[in-house]
Amino acid sequence: MKKIFENAYAELYDISEEVPHTMFGYWRGFWELQDEEAMAALLFPLNYIKEHGIKIMLTDYKDLDVVSEETDQWLAEYWFPTVVKNGLKAEIILDAEEMIGQISVDFMYENVDANTGLYTRKADTLEHAKELAMAVLQGIEENKLPDK
């Protein structure tokens, strides 16, 4: 794993050596649009995905607290469409540990597939997420993603 970004809200890694065209993000905290550090973490992947041919993001929300309604709307209207436009095909999600974080994650991804075409799926461990990422990569090549 090659660390490509870190601040109070995220640690981001390029794991393409282990799983081709894949990055891993460990996200935490309470995301608000007014928070410059939170926005720096959210904005970093946008160009990285495009510049490095990232097709899959493994996303660990274990320590996510809350995503404000305003931030959730920005994610739906800007972030998700932008990462898809920049080449992301799938996001595999490791859920938050706390119930409020789980609710935020579920709300955040509620319409992502339908609105953007981004393939999303939850995994229970990082190892299972990596295995699924390999299957998704094969599915992308064959133009057939694994069933949800």
Torsion sign across C-alpha atoms 102, 4, 40, 119: negative
Position 23 scores a pLDDT of 98
Report pLDDT digits (tens) over 96-127: 677 776 777 887 888 888 889 999 999 999 99
Contacts of 103 (CB under 8 A, 6+ apart): none
**Structural domains in the chain plus CATH codes:** 2-142 (3.30.750.24)
Please identify every stretch of the chain with a pLDDT value under 70, giving residue numbers as ranges: 96, 101, 145, 147-148
Position 96 scores a pLDDT of 64
